[in-house]
Structure 1
Amino acid sequence: MTNSKQNADAGFGLFLVPIFIFILLSLSLIIKYILSNYPEKVIFGPLYFIFVSIKVFVLEVPLANFTVNILFLIGILFYASMVIPKVRTIYDGLPVLIPFFQMCFLMLIASVFGLEFLNSWADNQMLSKAGAVLSAIITYVLIRLLMSYWYYKFPISSMITRDEKLNNRTVSAATSSANTILLPHGRMHKNLVLFALIFLFLLFIASCRYIPTPLDSNKLMKEQFSREPAAGTRLFDQEFNNGIQARDFNISGLTRDVSTRMLIWDFNSEDHDIVQILVDGKIIQDSIVLTNRPVAFTVPVPGVITIKGIQDQGGGLTYAVKFPQTRLTCFNIVAVNGVNTYTLLPKP
């Protein structure tokens, strides 16, 4: 009977080995993917996204953000470190790492959501500028209040002796060290990360319903305008205009006597073409080097915006402009010393 039980235990152990190896390999691949594609975002965490949020506020252009699935992968790594015995020992020696990593993870979530609010204003004006800033601040405050409440309700002490742990029945009889670290409310602190993961997972599932369809670059080059592309959209990896023609546009639906923003960028491979920007015949930017990162200009409504070609580095002086208030993006090409005009028309 004993031999049968031992054989069963051995068989079960062998069954768990490939599962354990699979989990380790999966976690290793996740770490490699995140560090390869988002090194500075992971290293500096919420500080990076707070800095980027300030840049969005000042420059008035959207900037790259984390997606929900990347946050979810980071959360999985953190949660795995709290439940895998071999890795969990780092928290036994340094219990302060638990609140530190939790704070980094939760504030990372808050900073990513804050940047998303600001981007929604900068790209499509789904929120007003004040509304986006207020939403970002409220997100930070709510997350911080949650953390304060959680650690007030479930504190983590620094060190408790073996005798104290035995009195509290929190250490198994097999414990042999003279002094070890107690992690009070350890399960609740794992649950905090688990709750965050569940929230991110549900948000990811909800966002899958609104995945935009891939942009048809040939169709965009033919029609030359669309409300689908985000600011900074790059259609081609090489300098390629695909038969695009120089055009003038009328931009309607703007608010009368209120300035609006215009974003301009190179939608092709960056070759540092140069254009000049005029408003009602007056130069507001003598020369601007076009890159894949949008640059914002405040222009009056009504008004006529003129884009004049100054220098073409080869392949055609192509560019895109977007008016976030209408969400309309125009793709265009201009010859050196040639001009394109954009007539801004207010609502009736």
Structure 2
Amino acid sequence: MKNSNQNSDAGFGLFLVPILIFILLSLSLIIKYILNNYPEKVIFGPLYFIFVSIKVFVLEVPLANFTFNILFLIGILFYASMVIPKIRTIYDGLPVLIPFFQMCFLMLIASVFGLEFLNSWADNQMLSKAGAVLSAIITYVLIRLLMSYWYYKFPISSMITREDKLNNQTVSAVASSANTLMLPNGRMHKNLVLFALIFLFFLFIASCTNIPTPLDSNKLMKEQFSREPAAGTKLFNKEEHNGIQARDFNISGLTRGVSTRMLIWDFNSEDHDIVQILVDGKIIQDSIVLTNTPVAFTVPVPGVITIKGIQDQGGGLAYAVKFPQTRFTCFNIVAVNGVNTYTLLPKL
């Protein structure tokens, strides 16, 4: 009977070995993927996204965002570290790491949401600028209040001393003789991370069901305008324009007497073409080097925007212009010393 029990235990152990190897390999691949593709975003965490959010606010152009699936992967790594016994002992010996990593993870979530709010304003004006900033601040405050409430309700810093254990007879004599401290409310602090993971999981599923269809570059070059592309969209990896023609555009649906933003960038590979920008015949930017990163200009409504070609580095001076208030992106090409005009028309 004893031998059969030993055999069953050995068999169960052999069964667990490949599962543990698979889990460890999966976690290591996740770590490698995140660090290879998002090193500065992970290393600097919330500080990086706060810095980028400030740049979006000042420059008024959408900048790098962070998909929810990467947040979910980071959360899995954090939760796994709290569950795997060998790693969990680090938290037992140094419990301050739990609130520190929780704060980093939750504030990373808040900072990513804050950047999403600001990008939604900068790219498509789905929110007003004030509304985007207010939404970002509210997100930070709510998550910070959640953390404060959680640690008030389930404190982790109130360590149980060896004397308390003996007096209250909360542990066995073996555990009392060992130099081991217990972490109160450990399960609840794992649950806090688990709740965040569940929330991110549903966001990830929602984002997967709303994946935009791939842009048809040939169709865009033929029609030369669309509401689909995001600001900074790059259509080609080399200098191409697929039969695009120089055109003038009328942009309607704008608010009379209120300035609007115009974003301009190079939708091909960067070759540092140079253009000049005029508003109602007056130069507002004598020369601007076009890159894949949009640059914002505030222009009046009504008004006529003129883009003049200054220097072509070869392959044609192609560029894109987006007016976030209407969400329209125009793809165009201009010759050196040639011009394209964009007539901004207010709502009737």
TM-score, L = length of structure 2: 0.97
Output one character per residue of 1:35-78: Cα deviation in whole Å (capped at 9) or x when no partner: 01111110110011111111100000001111110100000000
8 Å Cα contact 1:158/1:181 also seen in 2: no
Distance 1:283 1:162, change over 3 A: same
8 Å Cα contact 2:114/2:135 also seen in 1: yes
Distance in 1 (alpha carbons) for counterparts of 2:286 and 2:229: 27
Distance in 2 (alpha carbons) for counterparts of 1:167 and 1:176: 11
Distance in 1 (alpha carbons) for counterparts of 2:249 and 2:166: 78
Once the two structures are overlaid, the 10-residue window that deviates more, 44-53 or 199-208, is 199-208
The alignment yields a C-alpha RMSD, in angstroms, of: 1.4
SS at structure 1 position matched to 2:139: helix
Distance 1:173 1:315, change over 3 A: farther
Distance in 2 (alpha carbons) for counterparts of 1:36 and 1:168: 50
Distance 1:200 1:173, change over 3 A: farther
Distance in 2 (alpha carbons) for counterparts of 1:160 and 1:327: 59
SS at structure 1 position matched to 2:174: coil
SS at structure 2 position matched to 1:330: strand
Matches within 5 A, 1:54-203: 54-157=54-157, 159-165=159-165, 175=175, 178-203=178-203
8 Å Cα contact 1:265/1:295 also seen in 2: yes
Distance 1:5 1:273, change over 3 A: same
8 Å Cα contact 1:278/1:307 also seen in 2: yes
Shift of 1:87: 1.1
Distance 1:331 1:97, change over 3 A: same
Shift of 1:203: 1.4
Matched residue pairs, number? 348
Output one character per residue of 1:154-206: Cα deviation in whole Å (capped at 9) or x when no partner: 11126443343455566566548642232110000000000000001111112
8 Å Cα contact 2:275/2:289 also seen in 1: yes
Output one character per residue of 1:67-123: Cα deviation in whole Å (capped at 9) or x when no partner: 110100000000000000111121122110000000000000001001100000000
SS at structure 1 position matched to 2:184: coil
Distance in 2 (alpha carbons) for counterparts of 1:245 and 1:43: 45
Output one character per residue of 1:208-257: Cα deviation in whole Å (capped at 9) or x when no partner: 22110011111111111100000000011111111111111111111111
SS at structure 2 position matched to 1:175: helix
Output one character per residue of 1:282-303: Cα deviation in whole Å (capped at 9) or x when no partner: 0000000111100000000111
8 Å Cα contact 2:114/2:137 also seen in 1: yes
SS at structure 2 position matched to 1:123: helix
Distance 1:172 1:191, change over 3 A: farther
8 Å Cα contact 1:95/1:158 also seen in 2: no
Distance 1:216 1:11, change over 3 A: same
Once the two structures are overlaid, the 10-residue window that deviates more, 319-328 or 155-164, is 155-164
Shift of 1:4: 1.0
The gaps in structure 1 that reach 5 residues or longer are none
8 Å Cα contact 2:158/2:184 also seen in 1: no
Shift of 1:139: 0.4
8 Å Cα contact 2:274/2:290 also seen in 1: yes
8 Å Cα contact 2:162/2:176 also seen in 1: no
The gaps in structure 2 that reach 5 residues or longer are none
8 Å Cα contact 2:253/2:347 also seen in 1: yes
Distance in 1 (alpha carbons) for counterparts of 2:128 and 2:96: 40
Shift of 1:5: 1.3
Once the two structures are overlaid, the 10-residue window that deviates more, 243-252 or 151-160, is 151-160
Output one character per residue of 1:292-334: Cα deviation in whole Å (capped at 9) or x when no partner: 1000000001111000011111111111000000000001111
SS at structure 2 position matched to 1:24: helix
